[in-house]
Structure 1
């Protein structure tokens, strides 16, 4: 029996698909959803084999996060074209659905055991900052799945819609041994803590306390975004050499100015390379402005971030 979820904003089309599915004895509908957030929740709860996604939902900006979830938990999905007549255009839709099988997850299982970078524990004063936009969810999953439970404290800004914020935190938590939490004020940046600002109603900034603490402050968009990568990066310039920062795939320039400020303050700065970026906009702006001390492919970024936060790792990279 193939268990399917219908993800369709149009109730008429959803009802039509449900009626058609009922005529196929090998197919069972386990739920219906109308937006990315409800689709995520149902996909997590019901674990369908296949999700049928209406084309207008597939065009939603937050659909990237859904596709990442499907890959992580092994759910297949099919895009359903919008109807132009009395029947759904794709006549072989149900035969395709019946033939689909869940795929092997694309991301490695997280390891709860602490991992030493460069042969030694991480320096307690080190801090990792990451900014990302389009394509960033998969990139962050790749990086966070490599972070051990005692990773250096990490703050992340990911451009996404507010409705998808909680779902994104759960997605990152699935793949990381570290404690992943949504951004809010007053969180102490301690080892093993990953703070994610994604669709939150303010800019994520860090205080100059020891250890640094988070602030989420309302205000206008910065570099076109709320929250803004520039706001996060610029708030940490006073920490200087204690910071290791990476700017990942994304459209526009958010983060490039802040990454340059961090580099000038003594931080080690990384930009994702063009070959592994879904959109080489934000990293390109960083590279062209001289903000990136290193330009690395995605598979190398996690190891570099962790190595830069350990005494022996830094020494090894300098040789």
Structure 2
């Protein structure tokens, strides 16, 4: 067998088509009622966020001082805040803000962290040691402290908040990807790829990383809820999204002093935050159990 035919044999896939495998795996994933519930709840939250301009009965910044602190009614199903803004509209737009920032944070963390971790694990040696020591330095700092420090220095703009939240995600994705790459690169087919003359770039990005995708997907799903909670925490402390743009954290903080008099100010955004955390945590557990039946942690 010639080198070219051997290379073709390595690249050629004899397994069923990608679409067929995905359909079977997705059907098996949905066989669990808990997975169906978490996926349905997550999808509903994304739809509410996406359709907020259509569903919201009022503009989120529209004030009506004459109707301030109104309890839930048919006109304002979640009541109004201190300046008469509709809570329901602001909760919907808050979901839009929280989910969009979480998606951007996970995207930045995944893209950067996977690249760093893959290069570190595949190269090994001095490069691996240097990269991992830097990663460990950032991992040693509590995520909330790191985010607070960066936002305090850079300012509470959405871009800087995403950057502050992404730093810790980069280190987490880097560690998980490195561990997966170390396991895969020791397999026989990787040695065969080297023997037939494939470049390291091709081996890493076309033959090693595709077989590391499981732990990466699990980590991305689990971290979505964590990022949303962290963003809400920053907003609650006054270093996140600023008024009048709605955020669940700022809404909870605004109603904190009026819990006994107007509990709906914090109850509804807090409830949505709870449902979001529940949905992503359950979905992350379901994805982990589906892709890693042994139950090994990816964090």
Taking structure 1 as the reference length, the TM-score comes to: 0.24
Q: Which has the higher helix share?
A: 2
Which has the bigger relative contact order, CA under 8 A and spacing at least 6? 2
Structure whose CA Rg is larger? 2
